[in-house]
Chains A and B, each alone.
Chain A
Amino acid sequence: MRLPDVSRREALRTAVALGSASALSACLDRESSEPVPTGDPDAKPARQHAWRAHVRHDDHGNTQLPRHQILLYLTLDGDGPPSATARDALAATLDALDSAYAWSHEGLLHSIAYSPAYFDRFDDSLPEDIDLPEPTALSPFESPTFDRQDAVLHLASDRSDALLEADRALRGEREKANGVSIPPLTDALYVDSRRTGFVGAGLPAQHQDAAGIPESRPVPEASPLFMGFEAGFRQNQATEDYVTLESGAFAGGTTKVIANLRQRLDDWYDEQTQEERVMEMFSPGHAAEGLVEGIGDNLGDDSQIDRFVDDIADHAAEYGRVGHAQKAARANRDDDGTVRLLRRHFESTDDIGSDQQVASLHFPSLQRRVSAFESVRRAMNGTDVTEQTPAVRQRVNNGILEYIFVRRRGYFLVPPRRHRVFPTPRPE
């Protein structure tokens, strides 16, 4: 059912995308009649990445990520460890945020994570069992800029007004958020980069004027993502438990990779049929068996990709194409067949470094070890398949590699909540 106040919602979406102060004031006025639930700092989960129990799910039990999200990349002054003053300031900020918003999609979910460069500020090193290398290129054709800021604060809510108010308060542009005084983040850190995005049915279609999407306006209204398919089916995602560090000082934490990809979908939509898109997104087997209807909601809670991972060489020979999910899934299972990565990607029109609206994707992935992400990402290159047949090339007929251009990548440690404020490498 279509909501009656479409114009207001569109104004809010635009406001998140632009981060504009004037748009924000306008939406605050309009949204004020619907209270945003406030929070109890004592009721927050011990894991910062505990989101699933606090967001919407679809009819199949698939997680519906908060529709509006912001990433604030943060940097400390100087070279050494953070000062006691900075520590107190950040603690006060995050505590205030906890009071201001319920831990839910109707309030605000947030998590702060720290980079290897941050931990390098200390004399101690991280425990051996924490797998957090410096970011690196993961394909034979990409040259991303690495996000080596000290920290990244991820904010997410279905309420764009709540998200924007928190964002502005955190950046010192207003004093209060949801009625609670928020000491700005900028007392401890400065915001090096602010990135925004959205996910969920309707939003990609409404943002398809961005560069990178053809003028035919092909993004289906029902699609949660620009490429026209659902993703993150429950059976093809790691659980939060699985990605959580089990022991050591950071038990209850996880690692987080965040990439930003530019999307160029002219050929994806205008040169290919839906059947070809299914082949390249899932697998040629999905197309041959007609498994995917429309955006793929009929797949329920399982993309069925595991049925086709052993067919890659045959598919390459028979169809001259292989699927994105098919390649990645090869490396995304442990010895027991359990999925290793918990992907939480969302769309954007950010073009980092310019004010232009360009279709892009922010790709956070949670996993116990960053090396698990790296192996899945490398499997996605399909380099072995290009050796088997010239029909599958480095980036052509090779999943979706033709249409995505990695621009940024950063690796971070998400500490458990008890260590979220400037952790040392060996917290007690």
Chain B
Amino acid sequence: MNRRELLGGTLALAGVSLAGCAGLVETRTAGVPPVLENRPDGVYYPSHVEGMSAVGTQTSGDYAVGLFYSYPHRFWNVNGDSVSLTEIDSDDAVHLMASVWDPETGTVLPETGLSLEIVQDGSLVSQETIYPMLSQPMGFHYGANFGLDGDGTYTVRVSVGAVATRKTGAFADRFTDPQTVEFPFEYSEAAKNDISFEQVDERAGTPGAVEPMEMDALPDATAPAPDALPGRSLGAAMSNDARLVATVLDSPPEGVDGEGPYLAVSARTRYNRMVIPAMGLSGRLSRDDETVFEGELARTLDPTLGYHYGAVVDDVQPGDGLTLSVDVQPQTARHEGYETAFGGLLGGMPDVTMQVP
């Protein structure tokens, strides 16, 4: 793709492979567009899409880590019910993004905890615990803006913590030890300014999402397609553009206490099927006006179900009503286009109900 194609295109850029990014020359001179007014209460096309450049990929122990950078971003931080805008600071040079996945299965790992240390010539430049984030092109990742001391060679050490959620099946005994991987990072402002920066056309501010980036180095952070989930499908419902897909297994995956059917809910974004982690989710099963199950659906990482929310129940029968309630909205920061959805800026996530077929 060359500059002509880029300028003539609309959102094609967001779907370009990483390897192709280097030659793109839409430099950012006009600054970041303002946050759109009249944003819908849900996933929407952002005003602009920034590409990103790969720093590298490293594997250590149970973790593969990909490190990427882009222009400093504004994003919205989520703490409990509060959602607050983090503006770009004048000292920020880059937005660094790290993605962590299982090198064996390619499963992207939310809720590992991640910190990042930047050094140059033996001197500390920065060290931060960085926040989990959701973006339309990348899905779940960890990210933060960092200042740098100008062009030069840096070393970035990424420390990955143990996965904090329940783990099941072949994952039960994995992702328990922290690992640190180190990346050489050659930074130049000129190279950064070659990273694509695309204003979105008239679709900006309307419901929808830009396409996920396809990068050879980075597995998708998507949830399994509904028909790829194991068990008996109970249906799906949308809560503030989080699609909650429910299934029931005859027995719980290894690593879950209890006997009986296992109710699992996989949450994904409406358009890109990106995993939505770190919610507090509870469920209620009712039958003939009686509640037969009510309780927390625990955050769980399973090789087949993926990241999901699950609980052992007594039984699930056709005609049962299943109500899902989001008690804590997804505790991930949001890139633009996701900040009003999933309970974000404009209110909560309504309960959803489905009838068991």
Contacts and interface: CB of A to CB of B under 8 A. Distances in A.
Interface of A: 137, 139-143, 211, 262, 264, 266-267, 319-321, 351, 353-354, 356, 358, 383, 386-387, 389-391, 393-397, 401-403, 405
B79 A387 contact: no
Interface stretch (B62-70, B158-166, B241-249, B253-261): B158-166
B79 A395 contact: no
Contact of A390 (B122, B162, B279): B279
Interface stretch (B13-21, B39-47, B123-131, B210-218): B123-131
Interface string B92-135: 00000000000000000001110101000011101111011000
B170 to A, nearest CB: 20
Interface string B139-174: 000000000000000000001111011100000000
A390 B328 CA distance: 7
Contacts of A394: 111-113, 161-162, 164
Given A143-B159, A390-B328, A354 B80 contact: no
Contacts of B305: none
B235 interface: no
Contact of A391 (B80, B112, B179): B80
Contact of B178 (A142, A389, A402): A142
Contacts of A386: 164
B316 to A, nearest CB: 25
Contacts of A139: 161, 178
A395 B328 contact: no
Shortest 9 CB-CB distances between A and B: which pairs?
Answer: A320-B80, A141-B161, A394-B113, A140-B162, A390-B278, A390-B331, A402-B129, A391-B80, A395-B129
Nearest to B128: A264
Interface of B: 79-81, 111-113, 115, 117, 122-124, 126-129, 131-132, 159-162, 164-166, 176-180, 277-280, 298-299, 328, 330-331
Contacts of B131: 396
B149 to A, nearest CB: 12
Contact of A395 (B126, B161, B165, B176): B161
A406 to B, nearest CB: 11
A390 B278 CA distance: 5
A390 B123 CA distance: 35
Given A143-B180, A390-B277, 10 more contacts: A141-B161, A267-B128, A390-B331, A394-B112, A396-B79, A396-B129, A401-B129, A402-B129, A403-B129, A405-B127
Nearest to A137: B178
B298 to A, nearest CB: 8
A387 B164 contact: yes
A374 B235 CA distance: 47
B51 to A, nearest CB: 28
A100 B165 CA distance: 57
In this complex, the member of B127, B176, B179 whose beta carbon has the largest number of chain A beta carbons within 10 angstroms is B127
A390 B299 contact: yes
A350 B354 CA distance: 59
10 contacts: A140-B177, A140-B178, A211-B124, A264-B129, A354-B124, A386-B164, A390-B279, A391-B79, A393-B132, A396-B79
A393 B131 CA distance: 10
A89 B126 CA distance: 44
Contact of A320 (B81, B127, B161, B298): B81
Contacts of B330: 390
Q: Which of B112, B113, B165 has the most CB of A within 10 A?
A: B113
A139 B132 CA distance: 19
A58 B176 CA distance: 44
Contacts of B165: 387
B303 to A, nearest CB: 20
A219 to B, nearest CB: 19
Contacts of A401: 129
Contacts of A397: 79-80
A352 to B, nearest CB: 11
Given A264-B128, A267-B128, A143 B115 contact: no
A393 B124 contact: no
Contacts of A142: 178
- Tell which of A354, A391, A402, A405 has the most Cβ of chain B within 10 Å: A391
Contact of A356 (B124, B161, B179, B279): B124
A389 B278 CA distance: 8
